[in-house]
Structures are given as C-alpha cells and as structure tokens.
Amino acid sequence: MDLDAITKHSALHIKPNGLILQYGTAGFRAKAEHLDHVMFRMGLLAVLRSKQTKSTIGVMVTASHNPEEDNGVKLIDPLGEMLAPSWEEHATCLANAEEQDMQRVLMDISEKAAVDLQRKAFVVIGRDTRPSSEKLSQSVIDGITVLGGQFHDYGLLTTPQLHYMVCCRNTHGGYGTATIEGYYQKLSKAFVELTKQAFCSGDENRSLKVDCANGIGALKLREMEHYFSQGLTVQLFNDGTKGKLNHLCGADFVKSHQKPPQGMEMKSNERCCSFDGDADRIVYYYRDTDGQFHLIDGDKIATLISSFLKELLLEVEESLNIGVVQTAYANGSSTRYLEEVMKVPVYCTKTGVKHLHHKAQEFDIGVYFEANGHGTVLFSKAAEMKIKQLAEELEDKKRKAAKMLENMINLFNQAAGDAISDMLVIEAILALKGLTVQQWDALYTDLPNRQLKVKVVDRQLISTTDAERRAVTPPGLQEAIDDLVKKYKLSRAFVRPSGTEDVVRVYAEADSQARFPMTSKCERNLQW
Ligand code: NG1
Ligand code: ZN
C-alpha cells in the first residue's frame, strides 16, 4: 500500500466535517454533494474486497428511487450478491474515518479481513443517469487506482446489469458474457424462444406501456427493444428527455401513491408498468372501464411467477421444491393465497433484498419479491441440471414444459432483481397463459393498506423481532399496537426504523378501508 499516495489523493476528496453516514440496506445514500469522499473510499474498499475474495467486485453509483439531487454507492460481491455484512461495517468505518485516521483504518480492515495486499485487484463500475453520477464514479476510479487496482468502467448501466456483469466475470462466462451485448442476447434469446408458441397462435401484437422514471431504464430498454421486438412492442414514457428523475413517476411513486405516474397516457384496460430510477424494481397497473386505477405489485408478480413455475413442474412430474419469500410489507391476501390456494410455502424475512435473496437460496426454486416490486427467482445448481436433463430426455408436452423451464432460468437475472428481466418474464407468462392484466389482478384482492413515514428524533430507539413484525423497544409500543389491531378484522400493523432514510415506517392493513385504523385524521397528526 502506497500510504503517501493515499494521503495525497484523499486530500482531494475531503470528508465534510461532522458528517456521519451508514452503509445501509442499499449502501450509502445522501445528497450528492456530500458523497465525493465516500466514493473515493469505496474505490479503496472495493480493491481490498477484490484482493480478499480473489474476485472481481462491482461498484454501482446510484440512489435508485430517491430524488435526482441524491446519490449513493454500493459494492457488489463476487456472485453478484450484496456486500457481506462484516464488510458493510468496514465500509461504514472507512467512510466515517477522519482524514488523519484513514491509513490506520485501511490497515485495520486489511488485518481483520486477512487481505493479501500483494494480490491483484479488479473492480467494475456502473452508474445511473443522475447529473452527479459521472463525476462521483471518477472519484471511485481515483480510489481504485491509488491502491493499484485495475478496473473496467461500464459507464451507464442499470443496477441489475452491473450485478449480472460481476456474476459473469467471476463464473468465467458460466452465467453469461460480461458485456451489455451479452446481457441483451441472453435475455432476449430466452424470451423469444419462450414466447414463440404463444405468438404463433395469433397473439403477436402485444404491447406494453413502460414508465421509465426518467432514468437509466429508458436508455437500456431502447437499446434492447429491437432484440425482442417480434414478441413485444414497448412504448416508453418518462424516458428522461423532459422530466426529472423519479419526480412524480417511477415504481416507488406509483406504489406509494397508488396512482399512475405523470406523463403516462392510460386507456382503459391497457397493461402498463413502471421501473424505478435504476431499473431494479417493477410494478404493473391498469385502469378499468370505470376509470379506477389498479396496482399490481411485487406480491402479485411473485404469485403469477410461482404459479406458472409450479404448473410447469407438475407437467414434467418433477418434485423440485418451490418456496416464496416475502417481507412484512407483503399484503396479507397474497400470503393467504399462496399458502392456502396455491399450497406454496411462504417465508418472511427482514426488509432488504439481501435477506430475501439469502432465504431464497434454500430452495430448488426460490421466488422472492418485496411488495415494492424488487425481486427475482433463484434456481439451485441441482435444479438447473435436472431441468436441463429433462429438456433433453422427455418427449412431447413434457419436453415442451421442461424447455420452458430452461428458458425461464435464462430469462431471470439471478444475480439481482431486475425490472427489464422481470418485465420480460411477466410478459412471457401472460402471453403463454393467455391472461389479461385484469385476470391476473383478479387472482386475489389486496387488503386495504396504508404505509406512512414518521420523522422521529432517534429512529434506532425502535428495535424489532420476528422479521420486523413486532417491536421489542420502546416498552409498551407493541402492546399499544396490539390493542389497536385487535379491534379490526384481518388486521395487522407494525413499525420499524427505515434502513435507508431517517424515518420510522408505519404499516397497517385490515379488511376494510372504512374501518381502517389509520384514518386521515390520524395521518394529519403524524409528522411527515
Ligand atoms: P427501508 O428504507 O429500510 O424501508 C426501502 C424499502 C425496501 C428496500 C430498500 C432498498 C420499503 C418499505 N422499504 O427500505 O423494500 O427496497 O429501501 O432500496 O419499500
Ligand atoms: Zn432501485
């Protein structure tokens, strides 16, 4: 380690006085102007992590669904997964170190994590379309090079595309080719093969309206659309040519306001979807003939996908196990439908995809989605091999089903939830099953629900247990919630501190909106 060079370069990326940031569920997030030093330091950390894992590490510069003025950064571990928890702590220490302590903290991390400093390091970088992202990714590069690491800058990418690149590089092409062309080819080949049958039966004019949140999703979908254009026409809205990133549009806006994004022309019964700012989340929606808006969130996406996969497994008579993983925010109706009607086991984890991803790895086929539309499906190595074998050995209808499963494996981005990949999966399933968006929506009816955020002095005073469904502290809080909840049917409520914002989130659902615990009066009394 050239400690002098580190000190010299670090002085060009000064930490603002008194600023303390935490590596949260989605890495660091803050106003862009406060992040230069964090970027430089995450470049340094990525080099250490790369040396330690003897693998390529990813650094993504994005603040996802947050306002355009914000930015953020997260590291991607070797198989495309989120950074290991012990390294999240190293990231927090390094980001908050005072200038004079930088060298010591770097040495501490290297010692604690047994980093072989002599090894080579390789880091790949991606960024979203925020005006601040290009300069901030240059600071990441500065950090990488000062520690002697090599890098490849992919430039503009969606977050899940960078996860895919990292996974491809560390599996030496086993997962796919680590280029944007490789990503487009892999997904569109699977999509075209999967939907061939559906489209020859006269359903070739499928079209979908996509709200791209004025973000990176628009650029990437535009690049990709000609690869699958025979199967699906996408009409892009909020493509970044006029509006501001995530402003009154995008998956987060649609999900939390339960209304269409600005700028989207919706005719009745038209299928529409929204991506978030870095295209790792997707939600669907439509307006019925009475003009009423219907949201189809991550829970219903998980239901559609898992029922399709289960049907295919029944067809090939293979007893691979499927599990669905949700968080406390999953609508109670979805959990009931999955367990009671579809007879699929459902598990609840803490919020944040790393928890869901981890749990989903326990199954042959693990379907995980957060209600906000972030999710994917994981296939175990054994399941992949079995399905490949069935696709070769079986005949007729069974072979067709096994081939479909094989294509589904390739169509999912197993490294991370991916709006583009999930969109193609959903479009393929709807086409193959001949389902309209209304029929999909009618699988079950969501319980009325509300989610609020409340500003408090110290959100960490609230601690939780049971996958965040029950509060442990402060004393009396859970009892108060229980007293309220028991007055209503099919009711559930919980509070938890957010991992990405300085707020406490409050969620409640019950059988009817009219008798809903969180009335508008109550809402006004809360500080937003
Ligand atoms: P927090 O802020 O911890 O609630 C939010 C989302 C998560 C996840 C992360 C990362 C909700 C209720 N929470 O986490 O699902 O997506 O951001 O972006 O939607
Ligand atoms: Zn996102």
Q: Which domains does the chain have, with CATH numbers?
A: 3-156 (3.40.120.10), 182-296 (3.40.120), 299-420+434-441 (3.40.120), 449-525 (3.30.310.50)
In 3-state terms, what secondary structure has residue 278?
Answer: coil
29 strand-pairing partners = 72
Does residue 515 carry a pLDDT above 80? no
The pLDDT value recorded for residue 318 is 83
Ligand 1 atom closest to Cα of residue 501: 2
What is the best residue among 276, 500, 501, 505 to mutate for testing ligand 1's pocket, by most ligand atoms within 8 Å of CB? 500
Does residue 521 carry a pLDDT above 80? no
Q: Is the CB of 498 under 6 A from ligand 1?
A: yes
Does residue 523 carry a pLDDT above 80? no
Q: Is the CB of 64 under 6 A from ligand 1?
A: yes
The pLDDT value recorded for residue 516 is 55
Smallest CA separation from ligand 1 atom 9, residue: 352
> Rounded CA gap, 28 and 47, in Å?
18
CA distances from 172 to 364, 407, 427 (A): 23, 21, 30
Q: Which helix (H) or strand (E) holds 178?
A: none
The pLDDT value recorded for residue 526 is 37
Under the banding of pLDDT at 50, 70 and 90, the label for residue 501 is confident
**Residue 362 CA to ligand 2 centre (angstroms):** 25
Q: Is the CB of 298 under 6 A from ligand 1?
A: no
Under the banding of pLDDT at 50, 70 and 90, the label for residue 362 is very high
Residue 244 near residue 257 (C-beta atoms within 8 A): no
**Residue 297 CA to ligand 2 centre (angstroms):** 15
Under the banding of pLDDT at 50, 70 and 90, the label for residue 512 is confident
Catalytic residues: 64
> Rounded CA gap, 159 and 176, in Å?
17
Does residue 352 carry a pLDDT above 80? yes
Smallest CA separation from ligand 1 atom 5, residue: 500
Smallest CA separation from ligand 1 atom 3, residue: 499
Residue 268 near residue 289 (C-beta atoms within 8 A): yes
The pLDDT value recorded for residue 361 is 97
Q: Choose the weakest-confidence range: 18-32, 48-62, 272-286, 417-431.
A: 18-32
61 strand-pairing partners = 73, 127
The pair phi, psi for residue 365, each rounded to 5°, is -130, 110
What percent of the chain lies above the pLDDT cut of 70? 96
Q: What is the pLDDT of residues 365-380, one digit of tens each?
A: 999 999 999 999 999 9
24 strand-pairing partners = 27
Residue 323's Cβ-count burial label (10 Å; 0-12, 13-18, 19+) is buried
ipTM: 0.98
Does residue 520 carry a pLDDT above 60? no
Q: Is the CB of 372 under 6 A from ligand 1?
A: yes
**Residue 65 CA to ligand 2 centre (angstroms):** 6
Does residue 231 carry a pLDDT above 90? no
Q: Is the CB of 503 under 6 A from ligand 1?
A: no
The pLDDT value recorded for residue 132 is 98
Paired tokens of 460: 């960490």
**Residue 343 CA to ligand 2 centre (angstroms):** 31
